[in-house]
Chains A and B, each alone.
Chain A
């Protein structure tokens, strides 16, 4: 089997290429996705090889990108839309929430919208405002949409293909600050075998406390686990991978063993994914819990100026601090 070391960005690019090869109905569309290969180069070289009918530079209009993709999907295509940055998805929010998510339901199953909406998301790259947001809760709250996010090159490569193959409309969140991180990618990996799209996975096994994370925070959680191990504490890290629907099977199993749980995400804590996860774990694991489920999140402010983003973003210290607190109860 061919295994290569790729960056997460290149893994996505390779996955997209495979999807274009495998299904002539797949089209990629977005601002600057053609010649430029996207502002992060995730679609680099695809227009050159598949032509401008399959990799489409669209007008600068997010609502238009999603709205026209709905029509293409009804016509039998599988559009993969790129939203250039998280903070620019909101002009398209109406189309996504009111049209994309509801078509199947309203048509009583007669229309499917097999669309993928790719969004580079999250902070940590020193960007100006509107370029560092984590909008996952808005979409996870909407029935009819699915929301997933990858945390390493292997998942990026597999999950983007799984998402494109899925008949559900999927918001596919790409942790932009991890685009340049490298890892092994098994290029012949079967798409449905080990980890189907809507499943979490144990990223690091441990016995003393459970840390739940997704997207860019998986790396942070793993780093925290490494640091904790030096102090003799074994943390189990679970990469949720899918945010809607949430797969908490591995989490429940883990928390029942460890008795302690910390949820980490970049988005503001108020009504964030962490609230939902903490509630569910409390319900499911109440008699095993030694302490409340704690959350480590961004603050309830707009994403701040980048010179203070390090303080805004959950980091290794804040994760370890929360772990300490779960032991203090």
Chain B
């Protein structure tokens, strides 16, 4: 699939002719919208809790494109984890297991839409067309995030949990006030956060504001079941998507390991937002397969059988099974994708190793848009001080 905008025009011939209601209380499984089963079986359409019908129609090329995205994003993430282990990054927050939620939602964004990420949205970042080297500067400690949020319509990473949901709300209010909603080509905003974040005051305040101001905003919660060590039960006693009702907007739970459903549900919510129908909450039900970050030790709070159960729901494996079963892709395609992933990750590694440290004096830059006499003075003194060392290169 080409970067940007997967079409929804040609109907798929591949879909099995059956529909599924979201509510499946009988099975005891969480109610979720699913279009691709863990076995790789296509479901033609599925319904949300409010009766909304979700479906996607992709061309073969677009299906292959989504698969390529998933594999590349996983590989780049694995490379970053390895770089951290080798001491080249101070920290890395891996997205392993969450590729489908991120690629699905990321590809559902239109070019005019704005995204507000946490620190884990490397897959969305990739979909926004941002060089994957960008977040590595932050984690290596050479900068604090290098891309231009306005150019790429993807804000800086946010480390304080939940803070960005309010930024996204304000931004979306601005979109509304600029008159950029209410039409097919209107703008929409998406805010990413985790299950832990739903406990934060900021997130709840964002829900209130977005609702009251009918902000064109999609709250996209990746429920990966843990906030560092704390399981979901430490954050909530009700399914997260159901909270939306109390704030006055729709909520839906999607299978976050299903890239097709993640795409369909997000696209629908974004379109509603851009048409002026206000905010909604998507809970992408998924699992963090690795550690929270490279400094975490999940063996202290997580059992192996749980991880195994989720392994069976792997987002890439099911997409591959689908492509194979429907003869959309053959072995040579998979080999080629793996080869591309390998090449790109080797390239990434080389570039990370060559990332220069910033000149210390740059720490004085950009504190104020128009500078400050005090800082100018400190900068001058600092420069002089550094020069006072013998053999100083400064």
Which residues of A are in contact with B by a Cβ distance under 8 Å? 31-32, 34-37, 39, 57-61, 63-64, 87-88, 90-91, 126-130, 270, 299-302, 304-309, 311-312, 321
Give the residue among A130, A270, A306, A307 with the most B Cβ atoms within 10 A. A307
Q: How far is the CB of A316 from chain B (nearest CB, A)?
A: 13
Q: A35-B300, A127-B91, A270-B374 are in contact. Are A301 and B364 (CB under 8 A)?
A: yes
Q: B129 an interface residue at 8 Å Cβ cutoff?
A: no
Given contacts A128-B159, A299-B363, A301-B367, contact A32 B139 (CB under 8 A): no
- Interfacial residues of chain B within 169-205, with CB under 8 A of chain A in the complex: 196-197, 199-202
A300/B367 in contact, CB under 8 A:
yes
- Kindly list chain A residues whose C-beta atoms are within 8 Å of the C-beta of B235: 59-60
B295 and A91 contacting across the interface, CB-CB below 8 Å: no
Cα distance, A87 to B202, chains bound together (Å): 16
**Closest-CB distance, A199 to chain B (whole angstroms):** 34
Asked if B277 CB lies within 8 Å of chain A CBs, one says no
Q: In the bound complex, do residue A304 and residue B363 qualify as a contact, i.e. CB atoms below 8 Å apart?
A: yes
When distances are taken between beta carbons in the complex, the residues of chain A under 8 Å from B300 are 35-37
| Residue contacts A-B, CB under 8 angstroms, 27 given | A32-B229, A35-B301, A36-B228, A57-B229, A58-B234, A60-B199, A60-B227, A60-B235, A61-B200, A61-B201, A88-B161, A126-B90, A128-B91, A128-B138, A299-B382, A300-B374, A300-B375, A301-B363, A302-B367, A305-B143, A305-B363, A306-B141, A307-B140, A307-B142, A308-B357, A311-B386, A312-B360
B160, CB-defined interface residue at 8 Å:
yes
Which B residue sits closest to A37, measured CB to CB?
B300
Residue among A61, A90, A308 with max Cβ neighbours from chain B (10 Å): A61
Given A60-B161, A305-B358, A307-B140, 5 new contacts (CB under 8 A): A31-B227, A64-B199, A299-B378, A300-B374, A308-B360
Q: Does B111 reach chain A (CB closer than 8 Å)?
A: no
Q: Give the interface centre of B160, B367, B374, B386 by most chain A CB atoms within 10 Å.
A: B160
Interface centre among A39, A64, A270 (most CB of B within 10 A): A39
B61 within 8 A of A: no
Q: Which residue of B lies closest to A131 (CB)?
A: B159
Contacts of A301 in B (CB 8 A): 363-364, 367, 375
Instruction: Tell me the dominant secondary structure on chain A's binding face.
Output: loop
Residues of chain A lying within 8 A (CB to CB) of residue B163:
91
Interface string of B318-333 (1 = CB under 8 A from A): 0000000000000000
* B144 interface residue per 8 A CB criterion: yes
- Are B230 and A32 in touch, CB under 8 angstroms? yes
Question: Which residues of chain B come closer than 8 Å to A127, judged between CB atoms?
Answer: 90-91
Give Cα A195 to B385, complex, Å.
39
Q: Is the CB of A36 within 8 A of B301?
A: yes
Docked pose: A63 CA to B202 CA in angstroms: 10
Task: Report the bound CA distance from A37 to B360 in whole Å.
Answer: 36
B201 to chain A, nearest CB (A): 5
Q: Which residues of B contact A60 (CB under 8 A)?
A: 161-162, 196-197, 199-200, 227, 230, 235
A306 to B360 CA separation, bound complex (whole angstroms):
10
Interface string of B223-248 (1 = CB under 8 A from A): 00001111000110000000000000
Contact B364 A91 (CB under 8 A): no
Which residues does chain B contribute within 8 Å of A130, judged by CB atoms? 159-160
A36 smallest CB distance to B (angstroms):
4
Residue from A31, A37, A90 within 8 A of B230 (CB atoms): A31
Indicate which residue in B228, B358, B374 contacts A308 across the interface (CB closer than 8 Å). Answer: B358
Across-interface contacts of B199 in A (CB, < 8 A): 59-61, 64
CB of B236 to closest CB in A, whole Å:
8
| Bound Cα distance A307, B141 (Å) | 5
When the two chains form their complex, are residues A57 and B230 in contact, meaning their CB atoms are under 8 A apart? yes
CB-defined interface of B142-155 with A at 8 Å, one 1/0 digit per residue?
Answer: 11100000000000
